[in-house]
Amino acid sequence: MVEAILDAVAATAPEIRRGLPGRRAYGDEENPSGERRLAADEYADELLEERLLALDAVGSYASEERESVVESEGRYHVACDPLDGSSNLKSNNAMGTIVGVYDEPLPAPGRSLVASAFVLFGPITTMVAASDGTVTEYLIEATDDGVERTVVTENLRLPENPTVYGFGGRVPDWPADFASYVEDIEQELKLRYGGAMIADVNQVLTYGGVFAYPALESAPNGKLRLQFEGNPIGHIVETAGGASSDGSRSLLDVEPTALHERVPVHVGTESLIDRLEAALA
Ligand code: AHM
Ligand code: MG
């Protein structure tokens, strides 16, 4: 049943991709987090809603782009960020789709995730999915017979020796304790930051290292949302042998209080997340 959800996400990805070129303009509306919405955000949200709610397994659909949960009948509750990093569409840089499959009604804790996945719209389209305690990377290709999902990496694990880092938010807005952690990290790793969490986290999964969108002086809970971004990414990185943190504990241990709540996100190589938590303690 969970596989059917991942299949539907993979099957929708080429269609989302094909819809991007004509949807680079902003619409009139804001999303529930008060951010301007692109026509592409709306398009991806509506496609995913339709495809996922059509499945018997899906009991509800929630997304970053809509105020409340859309209810149906089914065992699993799906939370999506239909187009993560969509502000990259203007400059034609990478973006992604994030999906969390929970077995509790939303908002739900990350511990109730049974699967999570992201699609990365880079030079090629890939999907990275965590389920049954393992992470798999797939190549997604549209063919004459439909959409093919081919395994490219089985049992994906973070490499032992980390090499890259990427941190969001304006530097003057970083709290002093986070800034001093960054000073150390900068001496050891090289900067890789593109402004779309999915693409930046995929660098960390590929090369080892650390990604963060930390708490800011102006935004103590950072920017990213727990249900749609923090939990699924924390679940994928932890399943791949890495760690996640809100600053003091695993993202998966954060008890949710609202559907659109934000959370500071730090993910990556375990030793680097341990050091982060020590720096913020
Ligand atoms: P979005 O889901 O509305 O696209 O926002 C999330 C994105 C993340 O992909 C990225 O890490 C972050 O926003 C970057 O934000 P900013 O450009 O404000 O630094
Ligand atoms: Mg996002």
42-59 pLDDT per residue, tens: 999 999 999 999 999 999
Q: Is the CB of 168 under 6 A from ligand 1?
A: yes
| Local confidence band at 278 (pLDDT 50, 70, 90 cut-offs) | very high
Residue 27 pLDDT: 75
pTM confidence score:
0.96
Other Cβ atoms within 10 Å of 258 Cβ, number: 11
Q: What is the Å distance from ligand 2's center to 224 Cα?
A: 7
For the Cβ of 196 lying below 6 angstroms from any atom of ligand 1, the answer is yes
Question: Which domains can be identified in the chain, with CATH numbers?
Answer: 2-153 (3.30.540.10), 164-280 (3.40.190.80)
Regarding the beta carbon of 85 and ligand 1, being less than 6 Å apart is answered: yes
Residue 204: pLDDT band with limits 50, 70, 90: very high
Above pLDDT 70, what percent of the chain? 100
pLDDT in tens, 1-45: 999 999 999 999 999 999 999 888 777 778 888 887 889 999 999
Position 218 scores a pLDDT of 98
Ligand 1 atom 13, closest CA:
85
Residue 273 DSSP SS3:
helix
Predicted pLDDT of residue 270: 98
Ligand nearest to the CA of 195: 1
Quote the percentage of the chain above a pLDDT of 90: 93
pLDDT exceeds 90 at position 109: yes
φ/ψ of residue 256, rounded to 5: -75, 150
pLDDT digit string, tens, across residues 134-157: 999 999 999 999 999 999 999 999
Rounded CA-CA distance 236/134 in Å is: 9
- Sole residue written with tokens 């809603």: 49
**Reported confidence tier of residue 271, pLDDT bands at 50, 70, 90:** very high
Q: Give the pLDDT score at 123.
A: 96
* Alpha-helical runs (H) found in the chain: 2-19, 39-53, 176-188, 197-207, 231-239, 270-280
The two tokens of residue 172 are 């003057």
pLDDT confidence of residue 23: 86
Would you give the distance in Å from CA 102 to the centre of its chain? 14
